[in-house]
């Protein structure tokens, strides 16, 4: 996009309500503020006009000690270019107490340029019917509930953010920053978005999805005690050659029944889960800068370093060496 051509600022309403997640509002707000700052350094006019909106004006308490001042009341006749609805820890309670937001979304959806929901804010869009027939995401902890309550939505629990037509949804908390950077890139180009990401010390596009470190979380979410115990046993025996038949016998099931139950409970096949466990162990070991990659592969129970590299490329699109450079601690 030609940055030299004048254009009016993109109007953005960040929609909050009592109990909203503070970081989900502050993160995107900061992205747009830094975008304005960098445009100003280029001698350009501000690119974003951001307001805090709610069903009524005044201070709105977040999930922390912080409150934000809503200077705009939601009005179907005064639409921004993009309305960004943040999530809440207790989204069902929030939806009951702030039902006016769902009504507002339903009334403006056919006319607004863009609708965005961060984290569990997707439930407001879902209740308004906006996500029907669309692919969407939300925080992994409520993804199953979103799919169960609104089966017309194609829920992708692993995505950081998703755009479907003029509707955007994101995973939890910091993923709102990722989505806001994508909006800046669409509105003003990659160079400006990259400058903002650099200023904020975040990635313009982070590798992987929100499930990339969730092996233990998957274990906690398993409802069958015998499968949960078996997952923990697998974590303790990754150095062994684990077969489906061996694990089925340990679970006291037929091989076919075990494979079906495991997939249903965990959302991964047995071999995919084992690979994920080894991958996660490798990510933890890579934080030790003194440990050679060959040793990391051995301790994570990969066949060899090449095997570990293939898994990292498949899951993140980067090598273990690059992962270490991006994510390892300094040891300070």
pLDDT in tens, the chain (332 residues): 455 556 899 999 999 999 999 999 999 999 999 999 999 999 999 999 999 999 999 999 999 999 999 999 999 999 999 999 999 999 999 999 999 999 999 999 999 999 999 999 999 999 999 999 999 999 988 999 999 999 999 998 878 889 999 999 999 889 999 999 999 999 999 889 989 988 898 876 665 555 444 454 445 456 678 888 888 888 888 888 889 999 999 999 999 999 999 988 888 899 999 998 899 888 878 877 788 999 999 999 999 999 999 999 988 888 999 888 876 544 43
Let me know whether 137 and 96 are in one domain.
yes
Q: What range does the domain containing 35 cover?
A: 10-200
Tell me the CATH number at 52: 3.40.50.880
Structurally, how many domains does the chain consist of? 2
281 lies in some domain: yes
User: Which among 200, 226, 247 is the end of a domain?
Assistant: 200
Overall pTM surpassing 0.85 (yes/no)? no
For residue 235, list its beta bridge partners: none
Tell me the CATH number at 272: 1.10.10.60
210 lies in some domain: no
**pLDDT at res. 216:** 47
User: Which among 170, 200, 230 is the end of a domain?
Assistant: 200
Let me know whether 57 and 147 are in one domain.
yes
332 lies in some domain: no
Let me know whether 247 and 170 are in one domain.
no
Let me know whether 180 and 95 are in one domain.
yes
Neighbouring residues of 37: CB distance < 8 A, sequence distance ≥ 6: 199
* DSSP letter, residue 208: S
Let me know whether 196 and 54 are in one domain.
yes
Let me know whether 229 and 191 are in one domain.
no
5 lies in some domain: no
**pLDDT at res. 50:** 98
**pLDDT at res. 328:** 59
Let me know whether 279 and 191 are in one domain.
no
**pLDDT at res. 210:** 56
User: Which among 200, 224, 243 is the end of a domain?
Assistant: 200
**pLDDT at res. 202:** 80
> Maximum distance among all alpha carbons in the chain?
70
Let me know whether 127 and 243 are in one domain.
no
**pLDDT at res. 173:** 83
Please state, in angstroms and as integers, the Cα–Cα distance from residue 105 to each residue in 96, 115, 130, 188, following that order.
15, 8, 8, 26
DSSP tally for the chain: helices H, then strands E = 15, 11
């Amino acid at each position: 996009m030609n940055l030299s051509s004048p254009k009016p600022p993109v109007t953005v309403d960040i929609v909050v309500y009592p109990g909203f997640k503070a970081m989900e509002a502050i993160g995107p707000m900061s992205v747009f503020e830094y975008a304005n700052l960098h445009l100003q350094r280029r001698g350009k006019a501000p690119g974003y006009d951001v307001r805090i909106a709610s069903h009524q004006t005044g201070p709105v308490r977040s999930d922390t000690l912080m409150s934000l001042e809503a200077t705009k009341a939601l009005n179907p006749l005064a639409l921004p270019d993009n309305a960004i609805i943040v999530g809440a820890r207790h989204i069902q309670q929030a939806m009951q107490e702030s039902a006016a937001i769902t009504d507002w979304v339903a009334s403006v959806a056919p006319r607004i340029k863009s609708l965005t929901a961060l984290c569990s804010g997707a439930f407001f869009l879902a209740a308004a019917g906006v996500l029907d027939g669309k692919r969407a995401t939300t925080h992994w902890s409520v993804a199953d509930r979103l799919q169960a309550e609104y089966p017309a939505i194609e829920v992708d629990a692993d995505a950081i953010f998703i755009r479907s037509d003029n509707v955007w949804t994101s995973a939890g908390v910091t993923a709102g920053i990722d989505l806001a950077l994508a909006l800046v890139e669409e509105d003003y180009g990659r160079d400006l978005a990259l400058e903002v990401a650099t200023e904020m010390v975040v990635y313009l596009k982070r590798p992987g999805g929100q499930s990339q470190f969730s092996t233990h979380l998957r274990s906690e979410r398993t409802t069958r005690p015998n499968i949960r115990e078996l997952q923990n046993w697998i974590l303790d025996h990754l150095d062994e050659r684990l077969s489906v038949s061996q694990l089925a016998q340990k679970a006291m099931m037929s091989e076919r029944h075990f494979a079906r139950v495991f997939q249903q409970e965990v959302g991964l096949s047995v071999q995919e889960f084992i690979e994920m466990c080894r991958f996660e162990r490798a990510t933890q070991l890579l934080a030790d800068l003194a440990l050679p990659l060959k040793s990391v592969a051995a301790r994570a129970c990969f066949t060899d370093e090449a095997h570990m590299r293939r898994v990292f490329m498949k899951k993140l699109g980067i090598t273990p060496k690059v992962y270490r450079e991006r994510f390892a601690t300094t040891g300070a």
